[in-house]
Amino acid sequence: MKQQNSSALLALTSAALALPGMSGKADAAAPASEPVLSYHASHYREADIERKDHLGGSRERYEIDTHQLGLAAPLSRATDIKLDLMVESMCGASPWYVQPGAGGKPVQAMSGASIKEERYDIQGRLNQFVSSDTVLSYMAGYSDEDDYEAVNIGFEFEHTIPARQLTLSAGIGYSDDELEPTQGTTPVSVLKAEKDNLTLFAGLGLVVDARTAVQTSLSVSDQQGFLSDPYKLVYIASQNNPLYADSRPDDRRQWVWLTRFRHFVPAANAAFHADYRYFDDDWDIESHTLELGWYQNIGPTWRIDTSLRWYSQTAAFFYAPYFLSQRADGYASSDYRLSPYGALGLRVKAVKKLGPWQLSAEFETYSAKAGYSLDDVDVENPGLVEFNTFTLGFDRVF
Amino acid sequence: MGGPCELKLYGADSQSLQRAANAAMTEVKRLETKYSRYREDSLVSRINQQAGHAAVSVDAETAALLNYADTAFTQSEGLFDITSGVLRRVWDFKSGQLPNESAVADCRRLIGWQRVLWDGERCGLPDAGMEIDFGGFGKEYAADRAAAVCREQGIAYGLVELGGDIHVIGPHPDGSPWQIGLRHPRRPEEPIDRVSVSQGGLASSGDYERFMIVEGVRYCHLLNPKTGWPVTESPAQVSVLAPLCLVAGTGATVAMLKAQSSRQWLESLELPYVSIASDGRVTRAL
């Protein structure tokens, strides 16, 4: 196969692929032409905490069942709407605090098994196609669970310059969360708290040639309010009563740089995906995520997606598995999510098209370990998670 | 659709094959109804009837086709022009007579895609008598659509042919490619060459479809929209392979209209092609 550098061919092919139904991806901005209903059910299960790392409480960690219902439909010639409803029910125990065990090795105290909790989330998005090149999107959402209530709103702008095969986008999002931690199997550190989050992003998409596309975006988020975990404690050895509430700064700025690369390989009838994400915040957490995927078409109706994800992060400045003495600034957390670690994830998804139906089954397995980290980690947090997720779903076009 | 139409499909059972074939034929008929210039109720006819009066709003599919025509116009430097069909009024290849120069010049004034109002939603022809037609790419698009419909019906192996424009859905079930014969441009019943295609579009354009010979000079139906006269010194036939039949067809048509610079155009496209000169010499770049 020859190298494809022809600008005439690229222009004609892009114009042809913009025709409805000519390619899987929508090259020209256009509202959904037909209603699509989708449903996905998934079961997420974290592995039990290992006996050697376990101090007390239940060893069974979270199990979450999720049902997602989505509807995308045209509203008029220039607008479409997307609605997503999600119901999650979870049960199991979560890491409570870490304390030194034999030889100073940290061991995890778990909460008692919680009763079943439910979470409801609804998100709506209205896309307004101002022209064939420009889309304005308005988002709003509401999320509710026993101890948590959140509202979010957002706005996005996307503009395509067809002659340059370039898409520019920018957006803003805001959420306001209220926590009312429930006293249950573990005591809580506050009875009522609030936090809010403001995110700004800008992105650039480029169709390099008929088979290759890249996307890159930069976003910054400012979180303010109660950012501690009201259910978690820290262990401070020098104190008479060594258990204290998890305490974090009340603001956090996060930067995310995301780059996606897509290349279709005609000889294999498959697409190669490579995504890289860089994260940095003012809590000293820096992380890298690299995901490589191979999306293999098999005949016209089957597709198998396989992707491998690697993740590595550094610790927050106020993190330790446990503390020998109180920090001068008063902050302290032993949350495994703020610890230094790495993770590997493998995802396999099979998709089958059947007339107006698209059926999918997906399996994901994930394991976090200090050993997967980019940097050497002295002490691994005993609460690091391993999980499997199994998802079944369908999409139906009307 | 002018010319023979053929579906060659492999499938699990006759029922699913019949369903796919029906869906493909329905799709082709839909496009014919929508875009034929012979039908007064077609969208194209409505735009043409409003020439010199008003712009007509079009749907998303038509908008994408007009955008495609616009791209082809730009890329071919004005040789691919969907307003050039009016030249049929002065060129009658059955008559064996050349039109007079002034009639051709008058007709040329009604040609020019660059003068058409096209804002992505509405299409308007500025002068009464102007016309657009999708004859230059409609059949190729229909072949792509028919193939897409067959794929949606689960067909993985087969091909669609609409009057010489081909979209190969997939190879034979054993993986071997289709062998497609190219006609000899001067002796249409004889194959001159054969190409192997496993997937994608194959379209041909030639000077043999309609022509007349006047005083020893061959005048073919391929008219240069800028001069209003048939192209001369072009290859006798060009066939192009591309992922979509639509793109293959534009590649072949423009190659013919480019006349002596046909070769440069084909090389610049970087698509596989077969070009046959009027003396029968075959250039293969596959």
What is residue A184's predicted lDDT score, i.e. its pLDDT? 67
Q: In what order do the strands lie in the sheet with B117-118?
A: B56-57, B122-124, B117-118
* Mean predicted confidence (pLDDT) in B143-153: 91
Residues B196-199: contacts with CB under 8 Å, at least 24 apart: B197/B159, B197/B166, B197/B168, B197/B241, B198/B168, B198/B170, B198/B171, B199/B168, B199/B169, B199/B170, B199/B171, B199/B243
> CB of A173 within 8 A of CB of A199?
yes
CA angle A200, A202, A203 (to 5 degrees): 145
Name the percent of chain B lying above pLDDT 70: 99
A396 DSSP β-pair partners: A37, A357
Alpha-carbon distance A11 to A6, whole Å?
Answer: 9
**Computed from CA positions of residues B253, B258, B263, B268, in that sequence, does the dihedral angle turn out positive or negative?**
negative
Reduced to 3 states (helix: H, G, I; strand: E, B; else coil), residue B40 is: coil
The HSE-up count of residue B15 (CA atoms within 13 Å, CB side) is: 0
Average pLDDT over residues A241-252: 93
Pair A232, A246: CB distance under 8 Å: yes
Average pLDDT of the residues in A380-390: 96
Which among B60, B75, B270 is the nearest to A4, CB-wise? B270
Which helix H or strand E contains A14, and what residues bound it? helix A7-17
Residues in chain A whose Cβ is within 8 Å of chain B: 2-6, 8-9, 11-22, 28, 30, 33, 131-132, 210, 266, 299-301, 353-355
- Distance to chain B for A200, nearest Cα, Å: 31
Mean pLDDT of chain A: 89
pLDDT in tens, B59-94: 889 999 999 999 999 999 999 999 999 998 899 888
In 3D, which of A284, A373, A279, A267 has the Cα closest to residue A320? A284
Q: What is the pLDDT of residue A31?
A: 65
Distance of CA B39 to the CA centre of its chain: 19
Does residue A165 carry a pLDDT above 90?
Answer: no
pLDDT value for A28: 43
Residue type, A142: Y
| H helical segments located in chain B | 14-35, 43-49, 60-75, 101-108, 138-152, 245-257, 262-269
The three-state secondary structure class of B17 is helix
Q: Is the ipTM of this complex over 0.85?
A: yes
Cα gap A221→B265, rounded to integer Å: 51
3-state class (DSSP) for residue B248: helix
Burial of B262 (0-12, 13-18, 19+ CB in 10 A): buried
* Closest partner CB to B68 (pick from A9, A16, A132): A16
Q: For residue A2, report the phi and psi dihedrals to the nearest 5 degrees.
A: -75, 155
Of chain B residues 157-186, which have a CB less than 8 A from chain A? 169-170
Tell me how close the Cα of A161 comes to any Cα of chain B, in angstroms: 14
Report the SS3 class of residue B4: coil
Residue A370 CB contacts under 8 Å (≥ 6 apart), including other chains:
A340, A341, A342, A377, A379, A380, A381, A384
